[in-house]
Amino acid sequence: MTRIATNVGTTRGLRNLNKANNSLDSALQRLSTGSQINSGADNPSGLIAGEKLKLQVTTIEQSIKNSNRASNVIATADGALGEIGGLLNQVRGLVQEGLNSGALSDTEIEANQLQIDAALSAINRISANTTFGGDKLIDGSKGYNTQISSANSAKLNDFQVNELFFGSSSSVAVNATIDTAAEQGSLTQAGNIRLDTTLEVGGKDGNQVLFFDAGASLDNVSTAINAVSDATGVSAAVSGTNTAGTGTSTATTNGGTDTVAFAEVGNQIGSADVVTVTYTQGAANAATSVSSVTGAGTGAITISIELGADGAGDSDVTADDIEAAVVASTEASALVSATATDTGDIFEAADGGVAVSTSKATETLTLTSTDFGSSAFVEVNVLSGAFDTLDASSTAVSRDEGTDIVATINGSKAYGDGLRASLKTATLDVSLTFDSAANTDSNTTSFSVTGGGSNFQIGEEVSANGQVGIGIEAVNTARLGGLSGKLYELGTGGGKSLLDVGPSVQGSALVDIVDEALDRVSTLRGRLGAIQKNVIETNVATLGVALENISEARSQIVDTDFAVETANLTKSQILSQAGISVLSIANQQPQQVLSLLG
């Protein structure tokens, strides 16, 4: 090379040296930072993808922390509810023992009541002092705030909002409509007991055998059934009025005006049977008598009276003779009475055919299950005698079951259980129990949820898909209980303590209150446990798997592969050293031109 103004070799060597040094710097930076993307210029598309994945990783990590904290909150509440459940079990045992008054002294019963009072105080104390991070959990602070008018409140015995997602709304309206009212099991029977009868009356709570004599009224039957209502779950009521059927026979064949007035009596009053009195002419010199009573139990009873006759075979029967014949017949007099108006007129066979059951009216006995719904029923088995029961369609049956309420809540079909309608969707979990007086088709009620509750952000999405809203109602003696009463009533002075048990306060009322309170606590624990296990724990597991895979994907894009970068470092070091040597040689080449000047 004989040109010295431009040294192309030096330029080329310098360029390659700079390239090697840049590669060396890059390898050193990646090895020192552990990241292969240290600026946007390193990998623009990789930077965008990596940052998106980093954001998702951060979100998932925080969601897992949120879920674990939510689980801790629920576990704290569950622990307190477990203690309350234990206290309720103790109260149940104390009530059960206290009702054994025949074997306990008044002092022992008073001691049991003192223990009950202490347990009720402990329940209120646990409710007031169960906290997490300074927030109270089961005193009602975590429950939803609702607004309901007095008119709508009167239609409901109870309502609960368990879960709710407000979204962008400050309040949520809950509207419920009864499409088909719930029904009780119901059977009817008309007429008094005609025969000695033994019945087995059964319902949701059990069976009882009852005994009735012939002639027992429906009021007698109703009283007996209601006396064991607590044991069967069946009540009875009588409607209507029994009016005896009457009929009159007149001696018109011989132009007379004398009469015999027949009227139903005894066990026939109120019966659905039709009684007819007929006459037949007896033989010569025969006495007047009741010849037969037929059709008992068939619905059509016939009393046949054989008319007496003189020696020529002609009737010589007067009204008094017919009355005496009825009185003399045990069977006939058990069905009808006869009252004669006698001036001596003679009765003939054609004067019979009297329908005694004209203008009669019967009472109706209605047996009804005390509860509503498909699990409630009335069953009457006739063990002996006669007792015919009908359903609402007047079909002869021995058992009738109730039906559950059919309702819609916010336009969605609700699940019915007796008078209770409940709905659970992704944004709303609510239940309403209608009052029996409001249990009519097309009846509506509504209320608004204006705030409250606990909202847990356990998912990535800030929406209903990533949040769980839970309402924890107050768990204290003022709120625990049900239709039978509230738990505080079991305390001294509450009106339903062991000391109040007597004719006006049945022991079963105390038991029912405790059972309803325990059921409420158990249901709440079960609901919280289901959220903890089926929602939160599965959410943590799912997020954990997602975190692993997303972190792996981001690592492949962003993190330094030390094996690769170590090789690149070695390569760059060699190229840098070689470049320096080559550049030195290239710089010496122009000096060779001096030999041409020598």
pLDDT in tens, 80-128: 999 999 999 999 999 999 998 889 898 999 999 999 999 999 999 999 9
Residue 325 lies in a domain: yes
- Give the 3-state secondary structure of residue 215: coil
What is the band of 194 on the pLDDT scale with cuts at 50, 70, 90? low
Please give the average per-residue pLDDT across 284-302, as a whole number.
85
pLDDT tops 70 at residue 358 = no
pLDDT at 388 over 60: yes
**Locate tokens 């000047």: which residue?**
597
pLDDT value, residue 587: 74
Whole-number Å distance between alpha carbons of 236 and 240: 14
User: What pLDDT was estimated at residue 210?
Assistant: 94
Name the least confident of 16-20, 439-443, 496-500: 16-20
Does residue 428 surpass a pLDDT of 70? yes
Q: In this predicted model, what pLDDT tens digit does every residue of 504-537 receive, in sequence order?
A: 888 888 999 999 999 999 999 999 999 999 999 9
By mean pLDDT, which of 136-150, 318-332, 555-569 is the weakest?
555-569
Strands (E), 287-353: 289-294, 300-307, 336-341
Q: pLDDT value at position 594?
A: 67
pLDDT band with cut points at 50, 70 and 90 for residue 400: very high
Residues 371 and 236 in one domain: yes
One domain for residues 554 and 571: no
Average pLDDT, the chain: 87
Averaged pLDDT, 444-452: 93
Question: pLDDT value at position 556?
Answer: 84
Joined together, the tokens standing for residue 588 give 């010496």
DSSP 8-state symbol, 505? S
Q: What range does the domain containing 201 cover?
A: 186-240+363-401
Q: Report the sign of the C-alpha dihedral through residues 156, 160, 165, 168, in that order.
A: positive
Q: What is the 3-state secondary structure (H, E, C) of 342-400?
A: CCCCCECHHHCCEECCECCECCEEEEEECCCCCCCEEEEEEEECCCCCECCCCCECCEE
Same domain, 391 and 253: no
Pair (130, 70) in one structural domain:
yes
Q: What is the pLDDT of residue 46?
A: 79
Position 422 in a domain: no
Task: Identify the band that residue 242 occupies on the pLDDT scale cut at 50, 70 and 90.
Answer: confident
What percentage of residues in the chain have a pLDDT greater than 70?
Answer: 94
Mean pLDDT of 235-239: 91
CATH code of the domain in which 70 resides? 1.20.1330.10
Query: Does the pLDDT value for residue 65 go beyond 60?
Result: yes
Residues 228 and 367 grouped into a single domain: yes
pLDDT at 505: 87
Do 291 and 334 sit in the same domain of this protein? Answer: yes
pLDDT at position 26 is 73
Shared domain check, 566 and 552: no
CB neighbours of residue 293 within 10 Å: 18
Q: Do residue 487 and residue 509 come from a single domain?
A: yes
User: How many domains, in total, are found in the chain?
Assistant: 4
How do 274-281 and 300-307 pair as beta strands?
parallel
State the alpha helices, DSSP H only, in 164-309: 218-227, 229-232
pLDDT at residue 302 greater than cutoff 60? yes
- Flag whether pLDDT at 593 surpasses 70: no
Report how far residue 468's alpha carbon sits from residue 449's, in angstroms, rounded to the nearest whole number.
Answer: 16
Percent of the chain past pLDDT 90, that is, above it, reads 50
Average pLDDT over residues 460-479: 86
pLDDT at 353: 85
Q: In this structure, is the dihedral angle defined by the CA atoms of residues 487, 491, 493 and 496, taken in order, positive or negative?
A: positive
> Between residues 175 and 505, which one has the greater pLDDT?
175
Q: What angle do CA 340, 343, 348 make, to 5 degrees?
A: 70
Residue 583: pLDDT band (50, 70, 90) is confident
DSSP state of 19: H
pLDDT(268) > 70: no
pLDDT of residue 4: 64
pLDDT over 60 at 1, yes or no: no
Residues 335 and 200 in one domain: no
Give the 3-state secondary structure of residue 194: coil
Rounded Cα gap, residues 300 and 279, in angstroms? 16
C-alpha closest to that of 438 among 483, 486, 405: 405
State whether 47 and 30 are in the same domain: no
With 70 as the cut, is the pLDDT of residue 282 above it?
yes
What confidence tens digit (pLDDT) does each residue in 321-357 have? 999 999 999 888 888 899 999 888 999 999 888 888 7
Among the listed residues 407, 425, 426, 427, the one whose alpha carbon sits nearest the alpha carbon of residue 417:
407
Is residue 449 one of the residues assigned to a domain? no
- Residue 89, token pair as written in the block: 């079990």
Nearest residue to 317 via CA among 295, 337, 338? 338
Quick one: DSSP state of residue 243?
Answer: B
Whole-number Å distance between alpha carbons of 344 and 155: 70
163, part of any domain: no
| CB-based contact 81:138 (threshold 8 Å) | yes
Query: What is the H or E stretch that residue 449 is in?
Result: strand 444-452
Is residue 147 exposed (0-12), middle (13-18) or buried (19+ Cβ within 10 Å)?
A: exposed
On whether residue 386 sits in a domain, the answer given is: yes
DSSP annotation of 410 reads T
Say if residue 120 is in the same domain as residue 79.
Answer: yes
Q: Is 442 inside any structural domain?
A: no
The rounded distance, in Å, linking the Cα atoms of 120 and 513 is 13
pLDDT score of 79: 95
State whether 48 and 97 are in the same domain: yes
Q: Would the pLDDT of 581 be above 80?
A: no
